[in-house]
């Protein structure tokens, strides 16, 4: 076992230094920051687009008095409910009929409100009417009651804690952690697919295979790529934290996850490592069978789709704590790290995490072993039935 | 790289080698390895005496590389068993073995000394020590300027030398070289031969494969001639040569006479010279017949066959036998 780990460390050190001390690694580090910078640059414009253009516009083909009353009601309600909650109103001519106006190529409204405030008629497509009917009813009612409509004042009674709000916040933390972990995994683990191609094309695999167990080669490569990922994450995380401090000056208070921030962060690191090595070992095993970079590229698409499925499964489970789906997501090895980090945000029990980590680690070992045996069988053309060798020592 | 330098250098490295040395550094019994329906190794028994230089000779595609890979544990045999330095799990002895594969491979971006140290580290040599030794080896070989150069900037010969140093940097007890001379110019071939001899002087077992017989003839104490996945001959180069009779070349003034009846039946005439195998009873009876028959001997030479002749005869015979076997098999209903 010592020989295995020593050899894995030698391979890992070579791979790690080869990647980290290359010029392309700077691009790797800066790459994910580019979208953020672009986002900052165009953020203002984006906000404007989302706040104005996306609300549906309803044409009002009523009398001038009714139209004015509707607009006043809209403004009063928008003050309390927020500008984004109600559709925009725009006066349109009462003739021709709304049906004809909506059929015109230059029509800029989704639906047209005609008739009177007492008996409004909304014309439009069925699915648009479904969405707008309630809002228009509210606006018409408010417009009718214009003079008599008074808003009740709500007294505020503040509390320091609200379990409901805390649960909501924890759910959000779980979701964010899942998304961040998933994207880091999908961005970084995919690189492992092509990891053994260099050794195969340069004929180095023969030297490695003669000197160390192939398990050590796989393990070393995983360790190197994981270490490289941590360097990237430390860089991106540090940058994100600096930006956060610059924007909020350390004044923002984040709600705490169920297990507390220190343990949560530690679990996040461990679960990321597990998600990475689980997918990485699978990728390494699949990629090792590929003979060329082209084959590796072809494999990328189905693997990414499978990852997406796993992520959707895990993210569905976040909202259903304790349900069979959530437990299944925690047990299924590939979704387990994502489901468990969400659990850490919402449930304070620690022991399930210890169990999950052991479970996930044992699957990493199993996947590596199967990948190695398939590699020996199909690439090195060695050995008989691979399953018979599954639990033999790596050096045997 | 002179023998003196290598002797000193490797002597230092191997000082830590374990004392228990089996009689045979490498053993294989009943080894069979098939790829699909092709039997690359077809029931081979081999035993390489510890401390010897042992050559595996064979034409291209004979199964030499597969045999070496099987013995080293890179691939497992379908049948049979092998031991390497007395251990039946070859990888466990990896720190005491050096292997230069037929298809050379190095990381192109690695510096020369790092590549050597890395190969040593794979076999258990601490990296710092490997770097130190690598620099000393390259320096002593006149490659000091290449120490810091990436492999991709080295010539093919230099890269091969780097790989060879990587094979021996950790001071192995057994060195396995697959076609080590291929791709090397005459000077580097000479240097490699010197290196092999110096390693053997230090007690290291050398097992190498080649299809260039001259190297084996100069270096090997024992050889195995492999053809069609089987060992067709095993023994000393002298034994191999002895399998062929010496060849006699005779030139006479007279072209015909009663003396011609004394020539062996398989005699061939070529450009006024008689060629035939040395008779079992020796040359004296024939000489007497030639003198008595007034053949007029102009020249007579007896040539002992070389290993090359023996190799061609043995491998050729095996190929013919295999071809005959294939035809017989095909002819069977």
The answer, for A392 touching chain B at a CB cutoff of 8 Å, is no
Q: Are A373 and A390 in contact (CB under 8 A)?
A: yes
Quick one: B156 and B187 in the same domain?
A: yes
Quick one: B203 and B298 in the same domain?
A: no
Q: Are B306 and B49 in contact (CB under 8 A)?
A: no
DSSP assignment of B99-111 equals EE-SS----TTSB
A8 lies in some domain: no
B298 lies in some domain: yes
Pairing mode, strands A111-115 and A57-61: parallel
- CATH code of the domain in which B252 resides: 3.30.70
Which positions ≥6 away from B313 have C-beta within 8 Å? B243, B244
Quick one: A358 and A214 in the same domain?
A: yes
Quick one: A68 and A139 in the same domain?
A: yes
Give me the half-sphere count of Cα atoms (radius 13 Å) on the Cβ side of residue A171: 13
B118 lies in some domain: yes
Instruction: Note the pLDDT tens digit of each residue in A289-326.
Output: 777 777 777 877 787 788 888 888 888 887 788 889 88
Closest CB from B75, B106, B118 relative to A382: B75
Question: What is the number of domains present in chain A?
Answer: 2
Given B201, B236, B271, which residue is the final one in a domain? B236
Given A114, A144, A174, which residue is the final one in a domain? A144
The answer, for A388 touching chain B at a CB cutoff of 8 Å, is no
Q: Name which of B77, B93, B75 is nearest B85 in CA terms.
A: B93
A362 secondary structure, DSSP code:
H
Quick one: B187 and B286 in the same domain?
A: no
Give the integer Cα–Cα distance in Å for A283 and B10: 42
Quick one: B230 and B98 in the same domain?
A: yes
Q: Name which of A86, A143, A136, A74 is nearest A111 in CA terms.
A: A136
Given A113, A144, A175, which residue is the final one in a domain? A144
Q: Are A203 and B104 in contact (CB under 8 A)?
A: yes
Quick one: B251 and B135 in the same domain?
A: no
Q: Is the per-residue pLDDT at A47 higher than 80?
A: no
What share of chain B has pLDDT > 90, as a percent?
54
Residue with tokens 């030479």: B301
Quick one: A179 and A322 in the same domain?
A: yes
Taking each helix axis from N to C end, the angle separating A324-331 and A293-318, rounded to the nearest 10 degrees, works out to 140
Q: Are A352 and A377 in contact (CB under 8 A)?
A: no
Q: What confidence score (pLDDT) does residue A44 get?
A: 57
Q: What confidence score (pLDDT) does residue B10 get?
A: 36
Q: Which of residues 205-234 of A touch B (CB under 8 A)?
A: 205-213
Cα-Cα end-to-end distance for chain B: 61
Quick one: B33 and B92 in the same domain?
A: yes
Domain span at A354: 163-389
Q: What confidence score (pLDDT) does residue A288 get?
A: 78
Quick one: B47 and B152 in the same domain?
A: yes
* pLDDT-based confidence at residue A273 (cuts at 50, 70, 90): very high
Q: Tell me the sheet residues that pair with B274.
A: B250, B269
CA A167 to mean position of chain CA atoms: 20
Q: What confidence score (pLDDT) does residue B198 get?
A: 93
B315 lies in some domain: no
Q: What confidence score (pLDDT) does residue B5 get?
A: 31
Q: Is the per-residue pLDDT at B30 higher than 90?
A: yes
Torsion, CA B317, CA B319, CA B324, CA B330, rounded to 10: 170
A369 lies in some domain: yes
Residue with tokens 């607009």: A71
Question: What is the number of domains present in chain B?
Answer: 2
Q: Is the per-residue pLDDT at B13 higher than 50?
A: no
B36 lies in some domain: yes
Q: Per the CB < 8 Å rule, is B75 touching A381?
A: yes
A50 lies in some domain: no
Domain span at B256: 245-303
Quick one: A193 and A338 in the same domain?
A: yes
A91 lies in some domain: yes
Q: What confidence score (pLDDT) does residue B308 get?
A: 84
Q: Which residue of B has its CA nearest to A198?
A: B107
Q: Name which of A354, B172, A308 is nearest A343 in CA terms.
A: A354
The answer, for A21 touching chain B at a CB cutoff of 8 Å, is no
Q: Per the CB < 8 Å rule, is A203 touching B123?
A: no
Quick one: A210 and A126 in the same domain?
A: no
Taking each helix axis from N to C end, the angle separating A261-289 and A351-374, rounded to the nearest 10 degrees, works out to 10
Give the integer Cα–Cα distance in Å for A92 and A95: 9
Q: Which of residues 348-387 of A touch B (CB under 8 A)?
A: 376, 380-384
B36 secondary structure, DSSP code:
T
Quick one: A118 and A198 in the same domain?
A: no
Quick one: A230 and A302 in the same domain?
A: yes
Q: What confidence score (pLDDT) does residue B132 get?
A: 97
Q: Which of residues 152-171 of B touch A (CB under 8 A)?
A: 166
Q: Per the CB < 8 Å rule, is B123 touching A380?
A: no
Q: Name which of B89, B88, B132, B97 is nearest B17 in CA terms.
A: B97
Q: Per the CB < 8 Å rule, is A384 touching B76?
A: yes
Quick one: A201 and A127 in the same domain?
A: no
Instruction: Note the pLDDT tens digit of each residue in B158-191.
Output: 999 999 999 999 999 999 999 999 888 888 899 9
ipTM of the complex in this document: 0.78
Quick one: A210 and A342 in the same domain?
A: yes
Average pLDDT over residues B136-140: 94
Instruction: Note the pLDDT tens digit of each residue in A197-253.
Output: 778 777 888 899 999 998 999 999 999 999 999 999 899 888 888 887 887 766 556
Give the integer Cα–Cα distance in Å for B310 and A67: 112
B272 secondary structure, DSSP code:
T
Which residues from B are below 8 Å from A12, CB to CB?
Answer: none
User: From its phi and psi, is residue A34 left (phi > 0), alpha (psi between -120 and 50) or beta?
Assistant: alpha
Give the integer Cα–Cα distance in Å for A174 and A338: 9
Average pLDDT over residues B115-143: 95
The answer, for B113 touching chain A at a CB cutoff of 8 Å, is no
B313 lies in some domain: no
Instruction: Note the pLDDT tens digit of each residue in B85-114.
Output: 999 889 899 999 999 998 888 999 999 999
Quick one: B83 and B225 in the same domain?
A: yes
A134 vs A122, A138, A384, CA distance in Å? 11, 6, 70
Closest CB from B78, B106, B122 relative to A211: B122
Give the integer Cα–Cα distance in Å for B266 and B276: 6
Given B202, B217, B236, which residue is the final one in a domain? B236
The answer, for A395 touching chain B at a CB cutoff of 8 Å, is yes
Tell me which H or E stretch contains A377. Answer: none
This prediction's pTM: 0.74
Quick one: B151 and B177 in the same domain?
A: yes
Q: Is the per-residue pLDDT at B226 higher than 60?
A: yes
Instruction: Note the pLDDT tens digit of each residue in A259-270.
Output: 888 999 999 999
Q: Are B179 and B102 in contact (CB under 8 A)?
A: yes
Quick one: B68 and B181 in the same domain?
A: yes
Q: Is the per-residue pLDDT at B141 higher than 50?
A: yes
Q: Name which of A148, A139, A119, A151 is nearest A72 in CA terms.
A: A139
Rg value, chain B, Cα: 25
Quick one: A173 and A279 in the same domain?
A: yes
Give the mean pLDDT of chain B.
86
Q: Per the CB < 8 Å rule, is B109 touching A18?
A: yes
Instruction: Note the pLDDT tens digit of each residue in A129-178.
Output: 998 999 999 999 999 887 677 778 888 887 776 777 778 888 888 888 88
Q: Which residue of A has its CA nearest to B166?
A: A207
Given B211, B236, B261, which residue is the final one in a domain? B236
């Amino acid at each position: 076992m010592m020989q295995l780990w020593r050899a894995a460390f030698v391979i890992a050190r070579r791979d790690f230094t080869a990647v980290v001390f290359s010029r392309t690694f700077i691009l790797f580090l800066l790459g994910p920051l580019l979208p953020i910078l672009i986002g900052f640059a165009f953020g203002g414009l984006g906000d404007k687009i989302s706040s104005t253009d996306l609300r549906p516009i309803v044409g009002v083909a009523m009398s001038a008095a009714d139209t004015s009353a509707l607009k006043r009601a809209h403004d009063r309600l928008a003050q309390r409910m927020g500008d984004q909650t109600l559709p925009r109103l725009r006066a349109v001519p009462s003739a021709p009929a709304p049906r004809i106006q909506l059929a015109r190529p230059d029509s800029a409204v989704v639906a047209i409100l005609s008739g009177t405030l007492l008996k409004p008629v909304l014309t439009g497509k069925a699915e648009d009417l479904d969405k707008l009917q309630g809002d228009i009813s509210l606006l018409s009612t408010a417009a009718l009651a214009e003079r008599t409509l008074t808003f009740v004042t709500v007294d505020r009674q503040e509390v320091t804690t609200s379990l409901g709000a805390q649960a909501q916040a924890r759910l959000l933390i779980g979701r964010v952690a899942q998304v961040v972990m998933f994207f880091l995994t999908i961005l970084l683990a995919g690189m492992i697919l092509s990891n053994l191609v260099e050794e195969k094309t340069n004929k180095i695999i023969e030297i490695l295979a003669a000197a160390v167990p192939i398990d050590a080669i796989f393990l070393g490569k995983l360790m190197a790529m994981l270490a490289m990922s941590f360097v990237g994450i430390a860089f991106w995380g540090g940058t994100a934290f600096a930006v956060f401090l610059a924007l909020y000056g350390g004044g923002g208070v984040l709600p705490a996850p169920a297990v507390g921030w220190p343990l949560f962060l530690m679990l996040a690191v461990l679960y990321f490592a597990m998600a990475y090595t689980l997918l990485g070992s699978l990728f390494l095993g699949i990629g090792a069978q590929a003979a060329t970079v082209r084959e590796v590229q072809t494999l990328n698409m189905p693997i990414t789709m499978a990852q997406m499925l796993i992520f959707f499964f895990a993210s569905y489970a976040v909202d259903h704590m304790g349900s069979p789906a959530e437990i299944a997501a925690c047990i299924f090895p590939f979704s387990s790290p994502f489901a468990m980090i969400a659990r850490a945000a919402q449930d304070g029990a620690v022991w399930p995490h210890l169990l999950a980590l052991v479970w996930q680690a044992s699957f990493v070992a199993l996947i590596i072993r199967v990948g190695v045996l398939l590699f020996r069988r199909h690439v090195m053309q060695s050995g008989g039935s691979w399953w018979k060798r599954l639990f033999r020592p790596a050096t045997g | 790289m002179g023998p003196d330098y290598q002797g000193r250098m490797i002597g230092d490295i191997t000082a830590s080698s374990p004392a228990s040395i089996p009689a045979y550094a490498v053993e294989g019994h009943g080894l069979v390895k098939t790829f699909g329906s092709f039997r690359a190794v077809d029931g081979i028994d081999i035993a390489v005496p510890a401390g010897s230089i042992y050559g595996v000779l064979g034409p291209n595609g004979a199964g030499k590389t597969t045999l070496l890979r099987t013995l080293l544990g890179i691939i497992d045999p379908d049948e049979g068993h092998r031991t390497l330095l007395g251990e039946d799990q070859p990888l466990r002895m990896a720190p005491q073995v050096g292997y230069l594969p037929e298809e050379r491979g190095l990381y192109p971006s690695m510096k020369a000394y790092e590549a050597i140290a890395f190969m040593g580290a794979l076999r258990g040599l601490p990296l710092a020590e490997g770097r130190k030794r690598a620099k000393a080896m390259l320096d002593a070989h006149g490659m000091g300027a290449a120490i810091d150069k990436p492999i991709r900037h080295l010539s093919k010969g230099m890269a091969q030398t780097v790989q060879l140093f990587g094979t021996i940097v950790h001071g192995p007890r057994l060195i396995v070289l697959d076609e080590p001379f291929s791709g090397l110019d005459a000077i580097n071939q000479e240097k490699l031969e010197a290196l092999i001899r110096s390693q053997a002087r230090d007690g290291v077992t050398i097992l190498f494969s080649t299809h260039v017989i001259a190297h084996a003839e100069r270096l090997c104490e024992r050889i195995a001639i492999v053809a069609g996945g089987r060992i067709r001959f095993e023994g000393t180069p002298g034994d191999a040569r002895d399998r062929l009779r010496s060849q006699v070349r005779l030139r006479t003034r007279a072209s015909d006479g009663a003396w011609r009846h004394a020539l062996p039946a398989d005699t061939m005439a070529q450009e006024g010279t008689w060629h035939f195998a040395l008779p079992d009873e020796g040359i004296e009876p024939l000489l007497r017949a030639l003198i008595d028959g007034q053949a007029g001997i102009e020249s007579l030479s007896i040539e002992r066959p070389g290993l090359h002749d023996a190799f061609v005869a043995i491998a050729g015979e095996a190929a013919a036998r295999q071809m005959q076997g294939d035809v017989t098999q095909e002819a069977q209903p």
